[in-house]
Amino acid sequence: MYGAFKGIIGEYAEKQGAPYNNFPLKMMTIGGGGGGDWATLCGALNGAMLSVSLLTKNPKPIVDELFSWYESEQLPNYRPANAKTNPVRSVSKSPLCHISVSRWCKVAKVKSFSDAREDRCALLTASVVKKTVELLNAQADGSFQARYPLSKAVQQCRSCHDKGSMLENTRGKMDCAPCHSDLKAKHPEI
């Protein structure tokens, strides 16, 4: 969270000055490890989302696009020029830290408390910052277009569970299957 927020707002503050250069960036460190090491929402997404809310009057389309991109993209997809290795990539299928890390660790064949995972999260944060700035710039110049719609599976779940539906018992937009695979027998094509 700190890395993403500082990567966006810190850079913006250098160019724009106050009030951005007076923001207590250190408070964002609590978002590390998916929020106080609880592995909930990915901290990179959280920091990016907070940045977006400060920089645009219309944050929702950017946040929707960013989260959908994160769920479906092979990440991390940023590699600095001085990188010593080419990082293993995986598709998280979720904006949740623990799912994203677990899927990556399985593909990379490493443990979640390894240096390799720590490097991955740093590169993932850089990937999220880059994408967020691209989306903000596209919105500012009028060229923003959503390219990552909600998946068909999510749309299907929402048809029964979202506002105005038969059950209307959830508000989620993320892929339901990673957490609710046990419901497969009771549901059509999850």
Whole-number pLDDT of residue 170: 86
Note the pLDDT of residue 183. 72
pLDDT score recorded for residue 102? 96
pLDDT score for 157: 87
User: Can you tell me whether residue 75 is helix, strand or coil?
Assistant: strand
pLDDT in tens, the chain (190 residues): 999 999 999 999 999 999 999 999 999 999 999 999 999 999 999 999 999 999 999 999 999 999 999 999 999 999 888 877 778 999 999 999 999 999 999 999 999 999 999 999 999 999 999 999 999 999 999 999 999 998 888 888 898 899 999 999 988 898 887 777 777 667 766 5
**For the whole prediction, is pTM greater than 0.95?**
no
Q: Which of 182, 185, 163 is nearest to 172 (CA)?
A: 163
Residues 73/151, Cβ–Cβ less than 8 Å: no
The rounded distance, in Å, linking the Cα atoms of 141 and 40 is: 33
DSSP letter (8 states) at residue 166? S
CB 143 within 8 A of CB 61: no
Which tokens go with 169? 């018992």
Task: Please report the pLDDT score of residue 17 as a whole number.
Answer: 95
* DSSP alpha helix (H) spans, the chain: 2-5, 11-16, 43-55, 59-72, 97-108, 115-141, 152-161, 177-180
* Cα torsion angle, 132, 133, 137, 140, sign: positive
Question: What local confidence, expressed as pLDDT, does residue 190 receive?
Answer: 52
